[in-house]
Structure 1
Amino acid sequence: MLKKIYVVRHCEAQGQPSESQLTEEGLKQAKYLVDFFSNTKIDRIISSPFLRAIQSVEPLSEKTNIKIEIDERLSERTLSTTDLPDWYEKLKATFKDMDLKFEGGESSKEAMNRIVNVVKEVIKSGTGNTLIVSHGNIISLLLKNYNNDFDFECWKNLSNPDVFQINCINNEVNFERIWDEV
């Protein structure tokens, strides 16, 4: 049986903290996601607890009458709890060394395992098509799990929002980017 999982990166947000809201443009993008998925059967919506992720799928949830399930494991990865002026270079290094970890943060491998476990549970569930909304770094790690070529450059090229379709056929998993930027 073909099972589809739509992985959505949240729409444009005002910042990085968990309570950051969508920008005005981000709110428009969230409405556009309703149109984008209008011909797609969605059975379940699971979101990061971060406000920008929830706000990205609220219009779709309302339109489809599907309750948004919150899963802490979809939270964005914490690179470090200390200020890293060179965070960009540090993040790049974590794509090469999956065990590299900075103070108070989690390694790429740890973050990858969190989101991969969510996807594995969805695959095992009896649910048909599931939409997962999360964040760029952790989504990149999910995609890297299924294709090691998905690297730092691929992360840099993600848009807000962005949409990937993961197909699972007889335990074989592949993905493709399906977002058409507006």
Structure 2
Amino acid sequence: MTTIYVVRHCEAEGQPPEASLTEKGFNEAKDLANFFSNVRIDRILSSPFKRAIQSIQPLAEKLEIDVEINNGLAERTLSTINMPDWLEKIKETYEDMDLKYKGGESSKEAMDRIVNVVEKALISESQNIVIVTHGNIMSLLLRYYNRNFGFNEWSDLTNPDVYMLKLENNKVNYERLWQKNSNK
């Protein structure tokens, strides 16, 4: 049985790929390492974004595991143009999974991208895998396995956040492990 821990990065200074963690985010990364201290981890995959890598680095160093960068885990680009009403635009993409804004990915395209990474990980030889990604694309992954996971559930995600996915009887089930305002 394969278990995948999907992690949303810790608090960051911004949205660009090169945005670093905040001081609070670096402390949260240490909390993440402690959170996983009693879990056997075989493999770590991360978005190429700096904040994702920094979020999992303390755990990787503690376990002496290399972080494998996977572009399929990068955050979804909603659009390449500035949209002051971006929150409403994101909400619309949960209602219409094929809706696509200028220069961006539709929810369906982003979902397919991250599901591809996860499905390959589920059939790999590794038993316990940590995947570090971003809020919007993480929510689309969870929506793939549960159509009721939508905009409101995305809004409730925290930085960081952790969901456990298990493949059992050819079905993927998930459970939220991270509790708001808690590192346990």
Normalised-by-shorter TM-score class: over 0.9
Give deviations 1:57-110, integer Å, cap 9, x for gaps.
000000000100000010000000000111110000000100000000000000
Regions of 4+ moved over 2 Å: none
2:14 is paired with a residue of what secondary structure? coil
* Separation of aligned partners in 1, 2:19 and 2:147: 31
| Aligned residue number for residue 133 of structure 1 | 132
Provide the C-alpha distance between the structure 2 equivalents of 1:39 and 1:47, rounded to a whole number of angstroms.
21
2:169 alignment counterpart: 170
Taking only the aligned residue pairs, the percentage that are identical comes to 59
Letter matched to residue 100 of structure 2: K
Aligned to 1:50: 49
Q: Secondary structure at the match of 1:15?
A: coil
Please state if 1:107 is matched with 2:106. yes
User: How far is 1:170 from its partner?
Assistant: 2.9
Q: Deviations over 1:143-168 (max 9, x none)?
A: 00000000100000000000000011
Counterpart AA for 1:88: L
TM-score by length of 1: 0.98
Residue of structure 2 equivalent to 1:152: 151
Comparing 39-48 and 169-178, the one that deviates more: 169-178
Residue type of the partner of 1:92? K
Amino acid at match of 1:47: S
1:98-139 CA distance string (max 9 Å, x none): 000000000000000000000000011111110000000000
Take 1:84 and 1:75, find their aligned partners in 2: how far apart are those partners?
A: 20
SS at match of 1:90: helix
User: How far apart in 1 are the matches of 2:55 and 2:96?
Assistant: 31
SS of alignment partner, residue 109 of structure 1: helix
Give the TM-score, by structure 2 length.
0.97
What is the distance in 2 between the residues matched to 1:73 and 1:34?
A: 23
Distance (Å, rounded) in 1 between the aligned partners of 2:171 and 2:148 = 17
2:83 — aligned with what?
84
Give the alignment's Cα RMSD to 1 decimal: 0.6
Q: What is the distance in 2 between the residues matched to 1:35 and 1:60?
A: 8
How much does 1:171 deviate? 1.7
- Count of equivalent residues: 181
Task: Indicate the SS of the match to 1:153.
Answer: helix
